[in-house]
Structure 1
């Protein structure tokens, strides 16, 4: 299979050339050489870019993705499944938190009290949100 230049890769994947250069600097992908001033990439790098996109959509940082993929080689050897399980657990916690927030907001929108600040359920939500905010500020 022939190598493709950076503009062809950008067009084929929808990933901007500047992002491809950045990914190369971060060690996520590797070019195979140059054609004139343009970087060349193996056509198989498209699979790696898809893995990077999946990782980003799942909430992994680029550094975490680089560590999981084990370097810039276009061929993925194996992905760290322990990290995948950890991220899945983190997503479960976030989904649970978002579900509680959605349910609270729905309750607040449907609450029959004339003034929302008179709703005990809504006041508990406000109190919890304030406590979380203070906790985060203290942690920093």
Structure 2
């Protein structure tokens, strides 16, 4: 059996800052986020998404999924770090592929996502149907991170 893998390079964003927290902790360094380019089927320009291994499902802002022909299957609500606080979302399937600056592309992936009804959320790639398809490699010390897709 021949296995072909594709490595999708991620970038390590060390520029995100929490200015309020920096007022309280003056020597606080910028936050670290892993990001990937994602090209949704039906779009010409990729979006930038945060790789969120703590998210059980992906979250997509309204302006990103609107007009994609998402297969909406339910209305729902989701919460975050504030207990009892939720926001309404649609739940549905979308299709996309991950890509990087070196021309590497994943296969097209159909994945379940929370489809936000607002644009005030980040585009997050979660585990269900998306990150579970890859092996995640992170080496913060050497500024190297990538997703390895086994085909």
The TM-score bracket by the shorter chain reads: under 0.3
**Higher strand fraction: Structure 1 or Structure 2?**
2
**Which structure's CA Rg is the greater one?**
1
Q: Which has the higher contact order (CA 8 A, sep 6+)?
A: 2
TM-score (norm 2): 0.22
